[in-house]
Amino acid sequence: MKKMTYIALACALAFTGCVTTEGGSASGLSAVVSALNTTGAVGSGGSKTENQVGAAVDVFKAVTVSDEELKSVALQYRAYGDRTEKLAPPNNKYSQRLERLTRKHVNEDGLNLNFKVYLSKDVNANATADGSIRVYAGLMDMMNDQELLGVIGHEIGHVKHAHTMSAMRTAYMASAGRKAVAASSGTAAKLADSELGALGEKLFNSQFSQSQETESDDYGLAFMQKHKYNVKALESAFRKLASLSGKQGGLDQMLSSHPDPGSRADRMRDKTGGKK
C-alpha cells in the first residue's frame, strides 16, 4: 500500500512540473504540497496510508485539469456567487452605470468578459477565470467614472495575465485534497453549493502576489492609455483607497490582501509623469 502512495504522489508531482498557466508560469508544486498537507486523516475507517493514496489521486486529477475545465468550474462558482450575493437587476442604477462604462469592453483584448454589480457596501471588485468581473456598489459609490474604469482595467489584467486561472487552479487543487472537488473523466464535475462554497473560501483566502498586482496595475494603466481615458485616474483611485484605510471593516480586509494603495498611487504618478 505504501508503494501505491509513492506511485500516486510521483505521478501527481511529475504532471505538476508540466502544468503552466496561460501566462506561462508553473503553478502546481506548492499547491500539491498544500493539498496533501490538508488531508491528514481524511475519511472514516481508512488507514492513513489509504487516505494518502486517495489524496494523491485527487491531487493528480486536479493537477491535470485543463484551463477549459477550470473555466467551467469558474463559471459554476460565479453562478453560485450571483445566486448568493445581492445581484443588481439590469434596470438598477448601478447596473446601468456599469453597462454604460463597460459595453465597449466585453471583448477587450481578445477576452470574453461580463460585468455585473453586487449591491453591497463593501469596497471591492474581483474577477474570475471565466472572464466574469463583479463590482461592488460600495466601490462604485466611492469612484468617479474614470477611476472605476481604471479599477476595471486592473481586474481585466488579472484575467488577461491568467492570475485568476492560477488562483482557481490552486483553490481547486486544495479543495480536491479535502475531497471537496474533483475532475471526472476529463470533464469538470457539476459541483454542489457546499463544494462551491468551500472552493470560494479557498479563493477568498488566496492572495495575488506582489508581482501579479503590479502587472495588473500596469495593465490597467495601459488600458486607460489605449482607450484615451484619464491616465491619472488609477492614481486617484488608489489615493481614495489609502485615505479609507482603518475606517471600514470590509475595506480593511480588501487592503490586507493587496499591496499598500499609497505606494501603488505613487507608482502610478511616477509612471504617468504628471500627465492628465
Instruction: Give catalytic residues, as residue numbers.
Output: 155
Residue 156 three-state SS:
helix
Phi/psi of residue 230, nearest 5 degrees: -70, 110
Among 115, 123, 109, 81, smallest CA distance to 96 is for 115
Indicate the angle between helix axes 193-205 and 163-177, nearest 10 degrees. Answer: 120
Among 231, 215, 244, smallest CA distance to 271 is for 231
Gap between the Cα atoms of 27 and 156, Å rounded: 20
Gap between the Cα atoms of 200 and 175, Å rounded: 10
Gap between the Cα atoms of 218 and 216, Å rounded: 5
- The answer to whether residues 43 and 57 touch, using CB atoms and an 8 Å cutoff, is no
CA-CA-CA-CA dihedral for 208, 112, 83, 164, to nearest 10: -10
Sheet hosting strand 132-136, strand order edge to edge = 114-118, 132-136, 125-127
